[in-house]
Amino acid sequence: MGMSEIHIRPARTSDVHGIKELVAPMAAERILITKDTVTYFESIQEFVVAENGAGDLVGCGALHVMWEDLAEVRTLATSPAARGHGVGTRMLRELLERAGRLGVNRVFCLTFEVEFFAAHGFEVMANQETIPPEVFAELLRSHDEGVAEFLDLARVKPNTLGNTRMIRSLTGEG
């Protein structure tokens, strides 16, 4: 599978079932969290997908804005055939570029793939990321699990055991 055969594009509602198929084996291994179909439809505008020359989905990833200067990379997944061919890297670059266009300065992820994200400028987060108290109070009002993961709240610990919280600054990048 050559890189030139892969096209990265914004996801469409017709991609939801393909996204679920990409995520399913990784969710079974507890690498990704499975989501209800309705959740994928509600967040489809956050996703990019990678498709091969035949039009098959071989990757997906999402960027979820959490606050004025903070977003999370979510559900970054590739098919087994696409792994090791730069598909994840291309999708991550697209998501980081999207974050920059939106004015986000920091991008967070919760991952088992520490080496992959470290190779793309992410660093392991300190136990308590510095957040102004008023922003912390606002973030606590969110029902989004990703926000709870970023804040390292105890209620998400059973779902995130073994994952590493990582962050990347986009400041000074174009």
Q: What are the pLDDT tens digits along the chain (174 aa)? A: 455 689 999 999 999 999 999 999 998 888 888 889 999 999 999 999 999 999 999 999 999 998 888 899 999 999 999 999 999 999 999 999 999 999 999 998 989 899 999 999 999 987 655 666 677 667 666 666 666 666 665 555 545 556 888 999 998 554
The two three-digit tokens of residue 118, written as one number: 């470290």
> Which residues are 51's β-sheet partners?
7, 57
Q: State the pairing for strand pair 123-124/164-169.
A: antiparallel
Q: Where are the domains of the chain?
A: 7-169
Say which residues have a Cβ less than 8 Å from residue 20's Cβ, sequence separation at least 6: 37, 40
CATH of 7-169, one of 3.50.50.60, 3.90.1150.10, 3.40.630.30, 1.10.10.10: 3.40.630.30
Q: Do the beta carbons of residue 18 and residue 51 sit within 8 Å? A: no
- What is the pTM (predicted TM-score) of this model? 0.83
